[in-house]
Amino acid sequence: MAEPLRATAGELDADTILDAVNGGRRVVIETEMLGSEYTVTLRHDGTVYYCDTPTTLHKHEAEAEMRRCIEKQGYIEHEE
């Protein structure tokens, strides 16, 4: 199994994250919310996309849904 791709929120773009999870890698994002740091793991099992946070496991059936989730949650870099 390939090593996870690790990044801080905002370091990667959506295409990089999706390419990694579609290729079978987990993507581990370090992020902050309300002054606390936490880790999110993004993955794909070949059928379902997962966003595993400390409090919730989001499941998405389609790549477009996963893209919207990672954009909404602020895990990707933002264009100026």
d(CA 74, CA 46): 24
Q: Work out the percent of the chain whose per-residue pLDDT is above 70.
A: 95
Q: Where are the domains of the chain?
A: 5-72
Q: What pLDDT is stored for residue 80 in this prediction?
A: 45
H helix runs in the chain, sequence order: 14-22, 63-72
Q: What pLDDT is stored for residue 56 in this prediction?
A: 87
Indicate the pTM of the whole model.
0.88
Q: Is the pLDDT assigned to residue 9 strictly greater than 90?
A: yes
What value does the mean pLDDT of the chain take?
91
Q: What pLDDT is stored for residue 1 in this prediction?
A: 66
What digits encode the pLDDT tens for the residues 39-75? 999 999 999 999 998 888 989 999 999 999 999 988 9
Rounded (10°) CA dihedral 9, 12, 14, 15: -160
